[in-house]
Structure 1
Amino acid sequence: MPTTRISARISAISESATLAVDAKAKALKAAGRPVIGFGAGEPDFPTPDYIVEAARQATAEPRFHKYTPAAGLPELRKAIAEKTARDSGYTVTADQVLVTNGGKQAVYQTFATLLDEGDEALLPAPYWTTYPESIGLAGGKSVIVPTDETTGYLASVEDLDAACTERTKLLVFVSPSNPTGAVYSPEQVRAIGEWAAARGIWVVTDEIYEHLVYGDATFSSIPVQAPEIADRCVVLNGVAKTYAMTGWRVGWMIGPKDVIKAATNLQSHATSNVANVSQAAALAAVSGDLSAVAAMREAFDRRRKTIVRMLNEIPGVTCP
């Protein structure tokens, strides 16, 4: 008889460090301490009014009181495809889109769909703490590719190639990067995409920070810069950061139709459809313009400059 109460796979994962430090900051603040939390990537703005109003109206629609397709509302999948073409230049069809319960479900389901036991995933570091845990849950192994301030926290093709083995199945590519904020140039994105295509490995690219770029940096999408990788590429995104909707829990996967169909099968057993009211709110978000986003980004930019300046004023501290 088994003697352990918790499975080995679940025992091997740790609590989300992001959520843990955020909870600690909130507890200290509630106790009266002068704490500002920078743990969670959460805009402090409210969700724009027109998005909230769309959700309010959706609560009165009987069709949203019932189950809807596991892959997402058809009109939302279509709107996400259109938004993707508008914002990144990547042209996809609605049946290449799977709507998920936030970006984290998209991350986990992608790895679960692509990785077999022992497959390796290249993961440039520093990285968001959820990536290696989701890779491990899927039976994969994270192969860390270190970066630092001397390279602008960017991994080169040479770095990635040196970390490749015969077990390498995919590369996790994040630009703009969480947590460093590093942004790869279009030329660098193209080179990495062409390298992955030549190697025959998948690219899982998280584009959730696509609109939060500053200064001379520009966002570019890897399947656009290197079209040859498109058939072995999954794009992850969501409404959380761009539209200040972290609590609404709407993300998505975009990928080849067979991958999206397989991930939809998984989701149909795990969670079924995303809450319909949240999907209605997301539909209003991705169908609308980006004026609210521009206003938030301007405020974020002011704060970014302030915190970098203040950190660099501390003796012994260097903030790139």
Structure 2
Amino acid sequence: MTENLRLSKKIGAIAESATLKVDAKAKALQAEGRPVISYAAGEPNFATPEHIVEAASQAMLDPKNYRYTQAIGLPELREAIAAKTLRDSGLEVSPAQIIVTNGGKQAVYQSFQVLLNPGDEVIVPTPFWTTYPEAITLADGVPVNVFAGADQEYKVTVEQLEAARTERTKVLLFVSPSNPTGAVYSPEETRAIGEWALQHGIWVISDEIYQNLTYDGVKATSIVEAVPAMADWTILVNGVAKTYAMTGWRLGWMIGPADAIKAAANLQSHLTSNVNNVAQRGAIAALNGDQGPVEAMRQAFDVRRKTIIAELNKVRGFH
């Protein structure tokens, strides 16, 4: 067997996550006692709120959590996610439209696997999170980057999207608040993009993982709230990692129309089965419990945000 056939060409072409690579380097330097502040991974440095940890601790003592559960997630958690989605994304969904995943990253991966056929194009507003193009390529799709710089507040326009659209365009990736820029599309901008996608029969994968971390009174408007008809053409991706300081718990979810969720459920049944039950019990406490600690963390992030902006603006060449 020749060397180039020993391993999968598809897997061999994947680049290591730049985010995790830099994060690992930063943590190694910190372990050596070096005074390093890492801006690599989007990881809150707060402890997970106490009531969530307590719920998980109690779950560890309950034998029902030692067994396999539904691959798509605990019913109680999917009900809590449905309530959160109505509250924050303005969309009423059935728990049957929800799949609990091992972090938001798995939800992103499964979404592209479910929607794409070889050669299908995905419009990716740029700058983007490093995992997006790799997940698209793994699904045999083609990422089409559309760049929006500081001059337009890192937000793409309908005109740019239309210029990038071809007969192969299948999906638009929509991320608001953006990872990594933090840009938040206004309700009007979101509506215009949603109406454009609906007009052309284009799916939207909307990553809403940062939707609760906005500032100065800004609200992140979900594309399915701005254009309700897009609910049949949208997969929402979210999770507890950022809002609840639960990055290591590895719990996310995907929400979508029945046909897409059925396909994703079949995939997950072979890929991972159910997510860790203890983490699921913790997530139930996170979504249904006291939101006070979430607001306290958000306010602390805001103080840090304003501080770094003020300090960077003192440096010649930075704005």
Give the TM bin, normalised by the shorter chain.
Answer: over 0.9
Residue 185 of structure 2 aligns to a residue whose secondary structure is coil
Shift of 1:63: 1.2
Deviations 1:193-249 (A, max 9, x none): 010000100000000101100114221110111012110100000000010000000
- Asked if the contact 2:56/2:282 (under 8 Å) is kept, the reply is yes
Alignment match, 2:3:
3
Alignment match, 1:139:
140
Aligned equivalents of 2:316, 2:223: Cα separation in 1: 39
Aligned equivalents of 2:313, 2:290: Cα separation in 1: 36
- Asked if the contact 2:148/2:155 (under 8 Å) is kept, the reply is yes
Shift of 1:26: 1.1
Alignment match, 2:273:
272
2:38 partner amino acid: G
Alignment match, 1:75:
76
Alignment match, 1:315:
316
Aligned equivalents of 2:115, 2:94: Cα separation in 1: 21
Alignment match, 1:189:
190
Aligned equivalents of 1:224, 1:317: Cα separation in 2: 36
2:252 partner amino acid: G
Residue 122 of structure 1 aligns to a residue whose secondary structure is strand
Deviations 1:269-319 (A, max 9, x none): 11100000000000111112421111001000000011111111111122x
- Asked if the contact 2:212/2:243 (under 8 Å) is kept, the reply is yes
Alignment match, 1:226:
227
2:285 partner amino acid: A
1:1-150 alignment runs, 5 A limit: 1=1, 3-4=3-4, 5-150=6-151
Aligned equivalents of 2:76, 2:123: Cα separation in 1: 35
Deviations 1:85-118 (A, max 9, x none): 1222211010000000001000000000000111
Aligned equivalents of 2:291, 2:171: Cα separation in 1: 32
Distance 1:83 1:216, change over 3 A: closer
Shift of 1:31: 2.1
Alignment match, 2:286:
285
Aligned equivalents of 1:32, 1:105: Cα separation in 2: 33
Aligned equivalents of 1:250, 1:3: Cα separation in 2: 38
Residue 122 of structure 2 aligns to a residue whose secondary structure is strand
Shift of 1:2: 5.1
Residue 192 of structure 2 aligns to a residue whose secondary structure is helix
Aligned equivalents of 2:10, 2:80: Cα separation in 1: 37
Aligned equivalents of 1:96, 1:2: Cα separation in 2: 45
Aligned equivalents of 1:50, 1:205: Cα separation in 2: 29
Aligned equivalents of 1:187, 1:6: Cα separation in 2: 48
Deviations 1:134-192 (A, max 9, x none): 00001001000001000000000001110000000000000000100000000111110
Aligned equivalents of 2:193, 2:32: Cα separation in 1: 48
2:148 partner amino acid: T
Residue 3 of structure 2 aligns to a residue whose secondary structure is coil
- Asked if the contact 2:251/2:275 (under 8 Å) is kept, the reply is yes
- Asked if the contact 2:187/2:221 (under 8 Å) is kept, the reply is yes
Unaligned runs of 5+ in 1: none
Distance 1:2 1:113, change over 3 A: farther
- Asked if the contact 2:90/2:224 (under 8 Å) is kept, the reply is no
- Runs of 4+ in structure 1 off by over 3 angstroms are none
Deviates more, 1:37-46 or 1:82-91: 82-91
Aligned equivalents of 2:106, 2:293: Cα separation in 1: 26
Alignment match, 2:181:
180
Aligned equivalents of 1:68, 1:2: Cα separation in 2: 43
Residue 174 of structure 2 aligns to a residue whose secondary structure is strand
1:296 partner amino acid: M
Shift of 1:50: 0.5
Deviates more, 1:283-292 or 1:171-180: 283-292
Residue 188 of structure 2 aligns to a residue whose secondary structure is helix
Residue 99 of structure 1 aligns to a residue whose secondary structure is strand
